[in-house]
Structure 1
Amino acid sequence: MPRTPKGEVSILNKDGMIQLYWRYQGDRKYLSLGLQYDPINIEVAKRRASQIKLDMLSGHFDKTLDRYRSDRPPSEGLGAVELFEKFIEWKAQRVQPRTLDKYRGLVTWLREFFGNRTADEDSATEFLGWLQENMEPITVRERLVLLRAGWKWGLDKELVSSNPWADLHVRKPPKQPTKPFTKDEVRRILEGFENSRYYSYYIDYVRFRFRTGFRSGEINGLRWRHFNSDCSVVWIGESHTHGEFKDTKTGKAREVKLSVSLVGMLRSQLEKLKPDPDELVFPAPKGGPIHEGNFAKRAWKTVLEDAGIEYRKPYNTRHTFISHALEAGMSPMEVAKITGHDVRTLYEDYAGLIKSHPTTPELF
């Protein structure tokens, strides 16, 4: 092996194939390019060697060597599809499997639009416009968040030199909010479940939804061990959605003190059932977690129809709780702590209902 001067990259013939050799921070480095040792490929190898040398000198050397393996000229960086696929591989070690579905779905769109091309500001803007022609604005905004995150990761890993998605935005069209249920409608819904021949089983579940404003998945994933000894405080840190148990939507846990009526309802069930601590508080009639879709299509829809109430999804119990709590003058901070909302989001979405404006006190 010929001695390679410090900072230089040698091009070697290894059994008829091109191999690069150099030293970095005192260690020997080898890279097989998968190319035959011929004049044309040697030119490709020279460009690759120059990129490695430049990166070592500038402090941007990729220790994984991934940047130097591609058949693409190094200066171009990774293609949009290749970069995002690498991001997904990295993300797969850190999120729930189902969370990756939207990431993988986005790869299909990237592949159709970019092929092997890299993404720059112009092509990123065109791609976003193309998505807007084929998706709802809210979906495009969600995909833009993923793209920004992917290229930010790429910047951190020194796989790309810029983030073309960073300054792009999707216009948010005005949307009329769903109407919360009135107090009279809530009363009629609860009476409907309580008196239902087929769905009275769900009465405590529906009461709990209306009186806490928790997310559906948080309630469906509640276990008896999540309550303190007298059921006055509940810990919200687990959720059941799309057939699996996982963290809450925000990834943060919270504790909430419950109203006297809810404590009484839960203690009554606890004394009657004497359940195992790991059992679900609100299981489906045949056991296991309640399936939100089945509950909505059957029990919920039927009771609302029988009560003559305009259909709104079960998730509207959350909107209803928040709306009535704010209208009653409850502090937005307290409501946010109960429901697990980001306070800023709560102010943006419910600004018209927030009445707790501070008043200067009569101090002197």
Structure 2
Amino acid sequence: MYSKSKDNKVSIIAHGKSLKLVLPRAWAKDGKQVKVSLGLKDNEDGWREAELIAQQIERDYAQDRLKPLNEYKYDKDKEQKPKLSLIPSNDVQLIELWDKYVNFRANNKQVAETTVILNYQRVSGHIQKNPYKLLSQSHEMFTFLVENNSLKTAKRIITQWNACCHWALTMKYISKNPFEGLAATIKEPKNKKSIEEQIEDTDFIDIDPFTIDEMRKILEAFKNHHKYHHYYSLVKFFFLTGCRTSEAVGLRWRHINNDCSMVTFQEAVVCASGKLITKRLKNQDFRKFPCNKELQNLLLSIKPNIIGEDDRIFKSLTGKTIRADVFNGFVWRGCENKGATYVGIVQQLAEDGAIDHYRPQYQTRHTFITLALEKGMEVKDIARLVGNSPEIIYKHYAGSRLESITVPDLNI
């Protein structure tokens, strides 16, 4: 039934509330994938036992003594459970533990796919670049990390290494965590914002809304463009809703009711390492947006007669999901690519003096919020529409309008 293969890694997957092993397809002569139910629950104890069984199967396969697969199932009725012998910490490479840790968190859906691709791959890169590999060399690893990176980066990476080894200690893969407490020894300069604050503020850097006249000129330029008029409805949607770019490109027709009077934002599409990923909204599971007549008419005008359940509302020129980086780089701003120059519509308007100066596409969001405030909408209502808290609106938008506030006479 089985054939020899260099690919001898047995995978563990969560199926419902239990765990299964997945044998490599290359092991089977017929190429079929074999899965083995273990009778183990999807928890830390279960994963630890599953790792033991997977390792035993790999060893038996390598030594040509693989038993019938049902003999590897965990027997809860045995008086004595198989014990996991602790691996001496100085014999373990950090990258091995890190791979197990990431696999465990991803399979248990404790982290989003974007976290694995963007953040965890970055941490893995720092491990691989470090000339010191073993946990017994933790001091040397730490020193190299600090000396070759900013303090902020070093602290963020060592925090992840510590979390990994804390998990490995809990799982009894190692006998001690050599990185415990090291992050606290890295003192960043005072008055530096936390990582969370920096991430939050990227949504509000240089709030510089377009004027009504500039909005009209941008829309007219898109509508009349010989190639990119296709994106006119998307740009108008940005201005009319103040939604994030990822939320607009993630919209499907099933997120709009029949008469196009209500939009339900439920998905966001982001690009991570060249791969499009659909994820939940930034701060909530979903968000309702009631359409005014202008927005309703826009959606009705582009609504197809025949709609597939998963059809995107806004698509690329080739009918695929829009990549925000491509839209912003080639269409909105313009760029140089492979020796060719692509003139962006908004950049060209700025150079021609049609608008005061160039602003990136995320300013459409700031424009909607600013105009809604100027029209007298309550902050709490605006916050609900755009998926922010009232505190954020006050902090980044309403606070900048102090010069327009008139203090009433109190007649005392």
TM over 0.5: yes
Letter in 1 for 2:371: H
Matched position secondary structure for 1:235: strand
Q: Distance between the aligned counterparts of 1:141 and 1:346, measured in 2? A: 31
Structure-2 residue corresponding to 1:253:
286
Cα-to-partner distance string for 1:240-298 (whole Å, 9 max, x where unaligned): 2224342235362222222221112112322x544333211111122111222222233
Structure-1 residue corresponding to 2:267:
238
What is the number of equivalent residue pairs in this alignment? 288
Q: Distance between the aligned counterparts of 1:348 and 1:234, measured in 2? A: 27
Judged with a 3 Å threshold, the aligned counterparts in structure 2 of structure 1 residues 168 and 305 are, in CA distance, closer, same or farther, namely same
Letter in 2 for 1:256: F
Match of 2:296 among 255, 263, 270: 263
Map residues 194-205 of structure 1 onto 2, 5 A cutoff: 194-205=223-234
Structure-2 residue corresponding to 1:218:
247
Cα-to-partner distance string for 1:108-132 (whole Å, 9 max, x where unaligned): 3245176324799998698457421
Matched position secondary structure for 2:257: coil
Instruction: Please state how far the C-alpha of 1:167 moved relative to its aligned partner.
Output: 8.3
Asked if the contact 2:158–2:182 (Cα under 8 Å) also holds between the matched residues in 1, the reply is no
Judged with a 3 Å threshold, the aligned counterparts in structure 2 of structure 1 residues 164 and 154 are, in CA distance, closer, same or farther, namely farther
Structure-1 residue corresponding to 2:315:
283
Q: Distance between the aligned counterparts of 1:205 and 1:322, measured in 2? A: 18
Q: Distance between the aligned counterparts of 2:215 and 2:104, measured in 1? A: 46
Letter in 2 for 1:99: T
Q: Distance between the aligned counterparts of 1:71 and 1:149, measured in 2? A: 15
Structure-1 residue corresponding to 2:386:
339
Instruction: Please state how far the C-alpha of 1:65 moved relative to its aligned partner.
Output: 3.3
Instruction: Please state how far the C-alpha of 1:98 moved relative to its aligned partner.
Output: 4.8
Structure-1 residue corresponding to 2:84:
65
Q: Distance between the aligned counterparts of 1:188 and 1:65, measured in 2? A: 69
Asked if the contact 1:152–1:163 (Cα under 8 Å) also holds between the matched residues in 2, the reply is no
- Structure showing greater radius of gyration is 1
Letter in 1 for 2:102: I
Asked if the contact 1:80–1:114 (Cα under 8 Å) also holds between the matched residues in 2, the reply is no
Cα-to-partner distance string for 1:143-200 (whole Å, 9 max, x where unaligned): 5775676467567657666454368675249996252323322221112112222222
Judged with a 3 Å threshold, the aligned counterparts in structure 2 of structure 1 residues 352 and 286 are, in CA distance, closer, same or farther, namely same
Instruction: Please state how far the C-alpha of 1:103 moved relative to its aligned partner.
Output: 0.9
**TM-score, normalised by the number of residues in structure 2:** 0.57
Match of 2:210 among 181, 199, 216: 181
Match of 2:105 among 91, 110, 114: 91
Judged with a 3 Å threshold, the aligned counterparts in structure 2 of structure 1 residues 346 and 154 are, in CA distance, closer, same or farther, namely farther
Matched, 1:298 2:330: yes
Matched position secondary structure for 2:289: strand
Matched, 1:100 2:116: yes
Match of 1:314 among 357, 361, 369: 361
Asked if the contact 2:266–2:280 (Cα under 8 Å) also holds between the matched residues in 1, the reply is yes
Q: Distance between the aligned counterparts of 1:127 and 1:80, measured in 2? A: 14
**TM-score, normalised by the number of residues in structure 1:** 0.63
Q: Distance between the aligned counterparts of 2:286 and 2:241, measured in 1? A: 15
Instruction: Please state how far the C-alpha of 1:224 moved relative to its aligned partner.
Output: 0.5
Q: Distance between the aligned counterparts of 1:246 and 1:327, measured in 2? A: 34
Judged with a 3 Å threshold, the aligned counterparts in structure 2 of structure 1 residues 108 and 300 are, in CA distance, closer, same or farther, namely closer
Asked if the contact 2:380–2:389 (Cα under 8 Å) also holds between the matched residues in 1, the reply is no
Letter in 2 for 1:92: A
Q: After the TM superposition, which of the residue ranges 289-298 and 225-234 deviates more from structure 2?
A: 289-298
Asked if the contact 1:180–1:316 (Cα under 8 Å) also holds between the matched residues in 2, the reply is yes
Asked if the contact 1:327–1:353 (Cα under 8 Å) also holds between the matched residues in 2, the reply is no
Matched position secondary structure for 2:90: coil
Matched position secondary structure for 1:353: helix
Q: Distance between the aligned counterparts of 1:96 and 1:153, measured in 2? A: 18
Q: Distance between the aligned counterparts of 2:288 and 2:346, measured in 1? A: 31
Judged with a 3 Å threshold, the aligned counterparts in structure 2 of structure 1 residues 240 and 187 are, in CA distance, closer, same or farther, namely same
> Percent of aligned pairs with the same residue?
28
Judged with a 3 Å threshold, the aligned counterparts in structure 2 of structure 1 residues 88 and 222 are, in CA distance, closer, same or farther, namely same
RMSD, matched Cα:
4.1
Matched position secondary structure for 1:69: coil
Judged with a 3 Å threshold, the aligned counterparts in structure 2 of structure 1 residues 307 and 127 are, in CA distance, closer, same or farther, namely same
Unaligned runs of 5+ in 1: 1-30, 32-62
Q: After the TM superposition, which of the residue ranges 97-106 and 122-131 deviates more from structure 2?
A: 122-131
